[in-house]
């Protein structure tokens, strides 16, 4: 039963995370799936047990707060003319792509129609059924 092993691994990861968040480094122990399987004897873990364990960990004094991360440098403001020229360039590029696609469709359609007309005129060009 693979899902039981996955559940036990998730419980072990959760317990290790709670211990690391609580700041206790002296009694932190690595839990593997065999240890969790020995501790977990039933199919479900009581939410009350987990809550009590978590609240007991919260009773400890919190670890020293780390300084807040430095804010990312702000982007320089764009000039109105720069924005406008960039948009015009993008629109022109888009139009070029659309014109190319339309030209390719027209060429494909013309080639297909010419093959069809040739097949109608010459029965030897028709594919065998």
**Every domain of the chain and the residues it spans:** 2-58, 95-129
Query: What pLDDT score was predicted for residue 41?
Result: 46
Q: What is the mean pLDDT of residues 36-53?
A: 49
Q: What is the reported pLDDT for 16? A: 85
**Mean pLDDT along residues 94-105:** 96
What does the pLDDT average to over 17-35? 62
Residue 101 confidence (pLDDT) above 60: yes
pLDDT tens per residue across span 58-99: 555 556 677 777 777 777 666 666 888 999 999 999 999 999
- With beta carbons less than 8 A apart as the criterion, state whether 31 and 15 touch: yes
pLDDT at 5 (0 to 100): 86
Query: CA 110, CA 21: separation in Å to the nearest integer?
Result: 69
Per-residue burial over 89-107, b if 16 or more Cβ lie within 10 Å, else e, is: eeeeeeeeeeeeeeeeeee
């Amino acid at each position: 039963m693979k899902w039981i092993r996955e559940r036990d691994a998730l419980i072990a990861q959760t317990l290790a995370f709670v211990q690391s968040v609580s700041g206790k480094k002296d009694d932190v122990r690595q839990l593997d799936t065999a240890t969790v399987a020995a501790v977990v004897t039933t199919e479900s873990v009581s939410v009350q047990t987990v809550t009590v364990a978590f609240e007991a960990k919260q009773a400890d004094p919190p670890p020293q707060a780390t300084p807040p991360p430095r804010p990312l440098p702000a982007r320089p403001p764009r000039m109105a003319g720069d924005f406008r020229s960039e948009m015009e360039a993008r629109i022109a590029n888009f139009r070029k792509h659309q014109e190319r696609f339309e030209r390719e469709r027209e060429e494909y359609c013309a080639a297909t129609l010419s093959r069809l007309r040739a097949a109608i005129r010459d029965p030897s060009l028709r594919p065998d059924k």
